[in-house]
Amino acid sequence: MLDGMVIPGQPTPAMKVVNGRAILNITLDKAPDSVEAGNDIPKIREVAHAADPTSLVGGTSAVYYDVRSANNRDNKTIIPIILLVITIILGLLLRSVVSAIVLLGTVVLSYFATLGVCALVFNHIFGFAGGDNSFPLFAFIFLVALGIDYNIFLMTRVREESGKIGTRAGVIKGVTVTGAVITSAGIVLAATFAVLGLLPLVPLAELGFAVGFGVLLDTIIVRSILVPALVHEIGPKIWWPSKLQNK
């Protein structure tokens, strides 16, 4: 029933009884900490539960699989909640539904772009075996929090200027006034996190690189080019449903 999962020719494991429970040790034909080994755990548990519904499957592979499953479940719960809360805060602060959605979209885009670069660097350049299960969530929290901070700094100034000279002119004025400050802050912050990349711990090195690169991408490309371009292209409708949509 476990064909293709255990080492071929492996002798039938001896049964050991501890406190009335039978213990069987088997060796998988894959590295115990690999994703492939973890993917075999549900099938092994299915076979074990068919023999005894109270049976348990443990070991290194099972622990890695359970941790990965827990992290995936947390991601599906925490990330949507964070995005919802941020959208509400942006909407209330800028008094606009459209701008909140646009800004949130740019932050999420920046996050996924950073993940793509990290996958390229870690998997294909450095050849790391695999990333920490908590990496996507921690990277998301840092990058979204920092990205939204810069978004608020820029867009509150743009909104202020839009009330005086119009949306498109307000974007130009807002970027002119805040651009240097945001870029400088981003470079300093990126350098701070980049220090983690020098540590001999792979998870911290990966997180430091991700946050450092993500902050630079956010401040130099997203905040300085993409967001102003989107606001300029959308025009006054970016402030819907506030009165500024008519300016």
Residue boundaries of the structural domains of the chain: 16-58, 73-246
* Other Cβ atoms closer than 10 A to 2: 14
Top-level CATH class of 73-246?
Answer: mainly alpha
Residue type, 16: K
Largest Cα span, the chain: 82
* φ/ψ (deg, to 5) at 23: -120, 125
Calpha distance 7→26 (Å, rounded): 9
Cα 150 off chain centre by: 18
Residues pairing with 18 in the sheet:
21
Quote the tokens at residue 139. 């990277």
The structure's pTM equals 0.79
* φ/ψ (deg, to 5) at 28: -75, 160
From first CA to last CA, the distance across the chain in angstroms is 70
Q: Please give the chain's pLDDT, 247 residues, in tens.
A: 555 455 554 555 566 766 767 777 777 777 777 777 888 888 888 888 887 888 888 888 888 888 888 888 888 999 999 999 999 999 998 888 999 999 999 999 999 999 999 889 888 887 776 667 788 898 999 999 888 888 888 999 989 888 888 888 889 998 888 888 888 888 998 988 888 878 788 888 888 889 999 999 999 899 889 999 999 999 889 888 877 666 5
